[in-house]
Chain A
Amino acid sequence: MIDNHILAPVFIHLFSAVIQLIAWRKTITQRIVSIAGSSLGVLLAIRLLSRVHTDGILTLNAANWEAPFGIVFVADLLSATLVLLTSIAGLAVSFFSSTGLNRQRMLYGYFPIFHFLLMGLNGAFLTGDIFNLYVWFEVIIISSFVLMTLGGRKTQLEGAVKYMAMNILASTFFLTGIGILYGITGSLNMADLSLKIQQVQNQSLVGITACFFILGFGIKSAVFPLYYWLPSSYHTPPSAVAATFGGLLTKVGIYAMIRVFSLIFIPDEFTRNLLMTIAVLTIVIGSFGAVIKTNIRRLFSYLIVCHIGFMVGGIAMFTKVALMGTVFYLFHDIMVKTNMFLIAGLIRQLRGTMDMTKLGGLYAHYPKISLLFALVLFSLVGIPPLSGFWPKIYLFKAAFTLQQFAFVGALILGSLVTLYVIAKLWAEVFWKDSPSDVIVEDKFEPLPLFRKILLVLPICILCSVTLFIGLNAETIVQLVDKISDQLLDSTMYIEAVLGKQN
């Protein structure tokens, strides 16, 4: 069904960015516009999801060009839900960065670039054209370069160089893959590609092209052995920025993998084994990395890598149950990872450091905030009935059915290490007494109440969404069930874009 308004969540961020550019250097106006724009974005995303839920897959032909010739935007349930989650995460970060960020960064255009980033993310989720997906990836990368280097400290530049080098490499692989794909099929529309790729004579060339996409998306989503840019760059920018990156950027890679492998390259035996090996190694490496780190944000960065492995493993199994687990985990991960980096930022405000050895006694000083943190950390670990628990059941079930015992082992290892690491973090940061030789530098206490609320509110918003996902798992499972049906049976997608096929 054609709906001309599915790009509204993209345009709202574009509008906010333009207004903020007009109000250049007026940081208060920018903050208000940012929060207003993000709130509107959430409302528009809710509207989009409910329309997709009732009317089925919606499409939009940009500039009114018919489907395989022009650029199409497609909102199916997966895209619409991810747009909603992105908008919620964006709203939370808008709130947090309106006080948690120093003025210097705002003066140099933090907010407009942040909204360009959100625009790029929403665009990437909604596009139905593989080259257009590349363009949105570029929008995301360019904005994230600026956000990462804004402030210009030496460690930031160092992290940004690694980030930039790896991501440019990823884009090159991705673009080469698109070039070959266009060469062998003559189309860029994903629905059209899905039909045409089956008629290609030289199927081994198709397999090689798929490897280009695995490489490109693999670097972006930080899988083994292409992950190392992530832990060495995510601890450098301010926490508000790191939250957007940690929660959303790697997940776009996962989304692109799901989309490409469900529509264009249906995974064959080789691809499945390759993805499964990558997934197991990613989980193992990520969890080993997380065990030895003492800086909170570095620890979280390795946990991101570890949990990316869960989702890649789900894609590798490619059965209905596995995809349900993957998509559910994706939803849970976006909310929790964004929140964790915001929490790291708040801990820095409370104590002036993020090194676990120098922290302590937070529970004694701030019991309520600590309990809020505990909810998020428990969700991450997946203590039933919180949100991390449900997707893992599906992943385990799928892995046992397919007898992927290596993946079962990796899942258990990953979950145990997450539990161990979070327990260590809880003991070190919250329960242990503050080390006597450290001078505590509390920036939070002297703040006025309004700004305190602005710092804690986003964590509450994300935490309540996580709780909703966890405690209301029934609804989410029904949604995820429909999503995995749409993913496995691509005829619905193709018919929505190209009309009835005979």
Chain B
Amino acid sequence: MRSPILQSATKYLLPILLLFSFFLLLRGHYYPGGGFVGGLVASIAFVLHSFSNGTEATMRLLKRKPLSLIPVGLGISVMSVTLPLLFGLPPMTGLWFEQPIPVIGMIGSSLFFDLGVYLVVIGVVLTILFTISLDNNLDEKK
């Protein structure tokens, strides 16, 4: 079932939701939010897209399999955890740039940890949902 109302709404909602998820990600260090919630919102955006346009269309939009986001995200997180070891500090210590960056604010290694979590969450949620929905589509075709 394709609904034109949902399709045209998704066209605008997808970028807004993604922006919102990024906002949550950046806000997460001191306020409610963070990588996990941000990742969930971002994956909801893609799930909405797949509801209105079909899973294949979303897969085309993403270009890569969502599964490949998991190692990338995990890698970024692990890097940010172990990076302080190079400076003689215990793992997971937050390293911060001295000057704030406009719009984003202070940047530290914990942001990259959150970014990793964000990517892993998107990867996991989309992999699970797409696996289920693609299996369903195959069943319907049979």
Inter-chain contact A62/B67, CB cutoff 8 Å: no
Inter-chain contact B71/A22, CB cutoff 8 Å: yes
Interface size of A by CB at 8 A reads 17
A4-B85, A11-B82 known; A18+B90 contact, CB < 8 A: no
In the complex, A130→B112 CA distance in Å? 27
B92 at the interface (CB under 8 A from A): yes
Inter-chain contact B90/A63, CB cutoff 8 Å: yes
Inter-chain contact B90/A14, CB cutoff 8 Å: no
Q: Which of B57-97 contact A (CB under 8 A)?
A: 67-68, 70-72, 74-75, 78, 81-82, 85, 88-94
10 A/B residue pairs, CB under 8 Å, sorted by A: A14-B78, A18-B71, A21-B71, A21-B74, A22-B75, A24-B68, A60-B91, A62-B90, A62-B91, A62-B92
A502 at the interface (CB under 8 A from B): no
Inter-chain contact B90/A4, CB cutoff 8 Å: yes
In the complex, A5→B91 CA distance in Å? 9
Closest A residue to B76 using CB positions: A18
- 1/0 per residue, CB under 8 A from B, across A6-44: the answer is 010001001101100110100000000000000000000
- 1/0 per residue, CB under 8 A from A, across B38-55: the answer is 000000000000000000
Inter-chain contact A7/B91, CB cutoff 8 Å: yes
A4-B85, A11-B82, A18-B78 known; A64+B71 contact, CB < 8 A: no
Q: How far is the CB of B69 from chain A (nearest CB, A)?
A: 11
Residues of A within 8 A of B93 (CB): 63-64
A61 at the interface (CB under 8 A from B): yes
In the complex, A18→B74 CA distance in Å? 7
Inter-chain contact A4/B88, CB cutoff 8 Å: yes
In the complex, A5→B81 CA distance in Å? 13
Residues of B within 8 A of A64 (CB): 89-90, 93
Q: How far is the CB of B120 from chain A (nearest CB, A)?
A: 10
Closest A residue to B91 using CB positions: A7
Inter-chain contact A24/B67, CB cutoff 8 Å: yes
In the complex, A63→B82 CA distance in Å? 10
Inter-chain contact B89/A4, CB cutoff 8 Å: yes
Inter-chain contact B90/A24, CB cutoff 8 Å: no
Residues of B within 8 A of A61 (CB): 90
Q: How far is the CB of B14 from chain A (nearest CB, A)?
A: 27
In the complex, A18→B68 CA distance in Å? 11
Residues of B within 8 A of A24 (CB): 67-68, 71
In the complex, A18→B72 CA distance in Å? 8
A11-B82, A14-B78 known; A63+B70 contact, CB < 8 A: no
Closest B residue to A2 using CB positions: B90
In the complex, A64→B91 CA distance in Å? 8
Q: Max chain B CB contacts within 10 Å: which of A7, A18, A22, A60?
A: A18
Contact of B78 among A15, A60, A63 (CB under 8 A): A15
